C-alpha cells in the first residue's frame, strides 16, 4: 500500500518568513495530493491540492509543487501570519470517490509574531 512521509514534524518561523513542508509517497499510482490545515479543536480543512498532471499550483500565499519522478510534493507558505499556525497534513490518493487517502504524520507550524 501507499506510504506517505512528512517532514518536519514541527516548524517555527517568524511572521513574514516562508514555511516549507515536504512529503514523499511510495505508490506511483497515486495521482491526487491534497494538503489540509487543522486548527485546534477543528476538523481538517482542505487548503490546496495538486494532481499528477500538474507540476505546481498557487493560491495567493500558498503553493504546492509536485515532482512525480522523485515522488515528492511540498507545501510553500509565503509571508506567514500568526493565523497560519496550525497542524498541516499532506495526503496521497488515487483521485476518485471511495478510495483511500493516505495521510502524512503532520507538521505543527508555529508563526511567531
From residue 47, alpha-carbon distances to 20, 30, 59, 61, 66 in Å are 15, 19, 9, 11, 16
- Give me the least distance between CB of 16 and other proteins, in Å please: 27
Q: What is the size of the binding site for other proteins (CB under 8 A)? A: 26
Across the strands, what pairs with 56? 65
- Contact set for other proteins, span 65-94 (CB under 8 A): 87, 89, 91, 93
- How many Cβ atoms from other residues are within 10 Å of residue 109's Cβ? 21
- Binding other proteins (rule: CB under 8 A), the pick from 1, 60, 97, 113 is 97
Q: Is there binding between residue 32 and other proteins (CB under 8 A)?
A: yes
Here the cell at position 54 is 500538474
Collapse the DSSP code of 109 into the 3-class scheme (helix H, G, I; strand E, B; otherwise coil) and give the result: strand
Q: Is there binding between residue 105 and other proteins (CB under 8 A)?
A: yes
Q: Could you tell me if 21 and 106 are in contact, meaning their C-beta atoms sit under 8 angstroms apart?
A: no
Q: Is there binding between residue 98 and other proteins (CB under 8 A)?
A: yes
Q: Which residues bind other proteins (CB under 8 A)?
A: 32, 34, 36, 41-46, 49, 87, 89, 91, 93, 95-101, 103-106, 108
Amino acid at each position: 500500500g501507499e506510504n506517505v512521509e512528512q517532514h518536519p514534524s514541527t516548524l517555527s518561523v517568524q511572521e513574514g518568513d516562508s514555511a516549507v513542508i515536504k512529503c514523499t509517497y511510495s505508490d506511483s499510482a497515486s495521482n491526487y495530493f491534497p494538503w489540509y490545515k487543522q486548527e485546534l479543536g477543528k476538523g481538517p480543512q482542505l487548503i490546496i491540492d495538486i494532481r499528477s498532471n500538474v507540476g505546481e499550483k498557487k493560491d495567493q500565499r500558498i503553493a504546492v509543487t509536485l515532482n512525480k519522478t522523485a515522488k515528492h510534493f511540498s507545501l510553500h507558505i509565503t509571508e506567514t501570519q500568526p493565523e497560519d499556525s496550525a497542524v498541516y497534513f499532506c495526503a496521497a490518493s488515487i483521485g476518485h470517490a471511495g478510495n483511500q487517502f493516505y495521510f502524512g504524520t503532520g507538521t505543527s507550524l508555529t508563526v511567531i509574531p
